[in-house]
Each structure stands twice: as C-alpha cells, then as structure tokens.
Amino acid sequence: MKAHKTPLAVLGTLALVLAGCSSTADGGPGASNGGGGTGGGTGTSGANTSGGSADSCKASFSATTDHNYQFSSTITLTPVLVKPDSELTFDWSAVNKDFLGHAMDPAKDIDSANLVLWALNEQDLQTKLNADALRQLDAVVPATSPTKNTATSVSLFDFQSAAGEPLTQDMILPYMSATKYPPAANTYTFIVASGSLISGGKSRMIQALKLDPASTNTQIKLSNTSTKLDYTVDFHSLKPTMVPGADPKLTVDWADILTNAMGNTFLPTQITEVRVAHYTQPQAELEAHFLDLELIDEDTWRDQEIAGTSIELSKLTNDAGQSFPGVSASGTWVLGLVCGACRNPAPWYLTILKPCQ
C-alpha cells in the first residue's frame, strides 16, 4: 500500500455523501477497544454465514461473516458559533495532526478547503454520520477552495462551487442566513482535505459550525481536537481463511455474504477494490495498529477494475507492477474488499489468509 498513504479507516467521511452509496442496516458495538478512530458506520459483522466454506483449503473460496473482522466507529463534532451574514475566515495553520492522529503539514498536505451546509441539526448530522446513513438530499450545498498546498487559511469569499465556478459574495452570503437556514435545523462543516473531496479526496480535519445571531465571531481556528473520533475493531476473533500456499491463482467470491464488517447490508456490486497486503507483524499487533495498516505493510497487491462479484487474485499487482505471488508462512497476509465510493472507506471485509499445513 505504499502508493496510497491513507489509513484503512475513514478519511473521506462527510463530503463523500455527494457521491451517494447508501447503507441499509445498522449494527451493534464492536468487540475490541481501539483509540482515536474513524467516522462512519457502526456495528458488527454478526454471526450469520453465507456462501461456501473457506476452511477446506481450496484455491476458490467465499467471503463469509465468520471469516470477517468487526469494526465500529464514532465521530463527535462540537460546533463553533459564528456570526451570520458575514465574511468568515477559516484558519488551520495550527493543525499538525489529522483526526486519526497522523502527523501532517497544514500547508503541504492540504489540497483543498471545503464547506458543506447540511439540512440537519448537529445531533442528527452526527447520528447519521455514525450510522453511515447520510444522503445526498441532506447536503444543501457544498463549496470548495483549492489551497495549492501553500495556504493555511481561506475566506468565505474564496470558495467556488463543486463544479469549479467562482461564488460571488451575493451568491454565497444567502447560505449564511440564520433566517433562511435556522441554526436549530442546519449545520455547517468545514473540512481540510488531501486531494479534492468532490472527486474522492481524504478529509484530514473537520470543524462544525452553527450560525448564532448573538455571536460576533468571524474567525474559525481549527485545532488537532476539532474532530473527536473513537473506534472499536476486532481482528482476532475472525476465522482465518486457509488456502494453498504459494498459489497466486486463488479466487475469492463475495456474492453471498450478507453483512459487512460494520454490520450493514453487504451489497456485492459495491466492491470497487480487492487487495492483499503482507505484514511482518503478527495478527494481534495489526489489530492494535489498525489505523496504520496502509502505513506499515511490507507490500500490497490490488485490483480496482472489478467486474462481477469474484476475482482471481493473480490479477492483483503491487506498485512495481508485480503480480500477487500467493501466500507464504512468513508474516501475516490480509485480504480486503473495499467499497471505494462509500462514506466510510473502512474495508467491508478483511480476513487473514493462511497457507494450509
């Protein structure tokens, strides 16, 4: 995963609602405690099993819930009160860690500043976000401002539309009206991101805002604690998937699995990436460093051109263009199925591949 230095957990939480991708079921809490987690889904993968058995050591196997990890996450947003109908200034120069606790340069690592108005109060926004239930119609309007990796602040009047069209004062100020958008029913989120959130970039820090006619505040300063996140992950209770060793022609099928790792409905056609990563760390250590999985891998092979609901792993390649070699007895091998367009990019499916004895 060397070319994609972003964690497996949520980085693109809020603005990815613009791309759609609805989940239909909520689950319960995860099984194991973590720290500093991610925003997005909640729940567990459940106990039901669908598809064929992966315990028979065959080159072709099905994804099943008892071979999947479990994941849940909670995001907490604390709104800052701001003056309505005014030019606001957003400053993130003090942010040197993103909401996953990873070091970041507030200038060099940020490509875009983004502002989204939601037709939700802060509690409903938080609840829907954590349930992975945000819909396109919940977002009234998004706006963005490229930073050119140099700016660490932006004015309200520097924003442009999602299509890249400039927004004049007369166009943007009506969206900052406490009369037209009562604070009791509307919330704003300011998001600094690596890449463009409109086209799938990754959120690094989020600050919620509320209009308040009594406020004189027009300066919004982000900090390392603007977003609070917690997560739980259970990576040790899953049943490893036994496969022939050193065989690259393994085939995984996910057509029949019912629920994903967050306890929501598994929609097979939503999988946009299949990956296998190799780690020197044991399985228990990977659980402890879950948010760093894409930072500590030895190598990763992936395919993002998914057609259907199965794939032969020999089609996966690493950053050097080398094909997946099959699994060995050294280290830990992790297979992941990812819904890349979903608001919570934590993989829907992660399992351990082990060579047959």
Give the best-scoring range by mean pLDDT among 132-136, 294-298, 320-324.
320-324
**E strand or H helix that includes residue 122:** helix 122-130
Which one is predicted more confidently, 41 or 199?
A: 199
Average pLDDT, the chain: 85
Q: Nearest 5°: phi and psi at 180?
A: -75, -35
Write the pLDDT tens digit of every residue in 99-126: 988 899 999 999 999 999 999 999 999 9
% the chain with pLDDT above 90: 72
Q: Are 177 and 157 in contact (CB under 8 A)?
A: no
DSSP state of 72: E
Which one is predicted more confidently, 297 or 342?
A: 297
**E strand or H helix that includes residue 203:** strand 202-211
Which pLDDT score, from 0 to 100, does residue 81 have? 98
Write the pLDDT tens digit of every residue in 289-309: 998 998 999 999 999 999 999
> Domain map of the chain by residue range?
15-31+44-74+234-355, 79-225
